[in-house]
Amino acid sequence: MLEGYELTDFQKEVLIVTAGIERGNTLTYKQVAEKIGHGKAYRAVGTALKKNPLAPKIPCHRVIKSDGSVGNYSGKGGAGGKRELLIREFAISGD
């Protein structure tokens, strides 16, 4: 799936974990970092997701901050667009 893209091994690991997040679910940046064995690298996870060449096929919008806020998003609409995607997928409340 990631062949042909110039990505580091770390970026590939992040994207593989992210690809497994099912619709209606989220993981935090920290949880993704822990799943790839780099528990303190949650900021680097965000940087890797910013370079996601296969969005939305790899749903980087499903990765949120530990406090439950959506965090940043480089896709269409920025953080507000990310929030709307997550509400539509029933991953977060629209309240």
Catalytic residues: 60
The identity of residue 81, as a single letter, is G
Which distant-in-sequence residues (6+ apart) come within 8 Å of 41 by Cβ?
Answer: 10, 33
- Ramachandran sector of residue 71 (left: φ over 0; alpha: ψ -120 to 50; beta: rest): left
d(CA 83, CA 93): 9
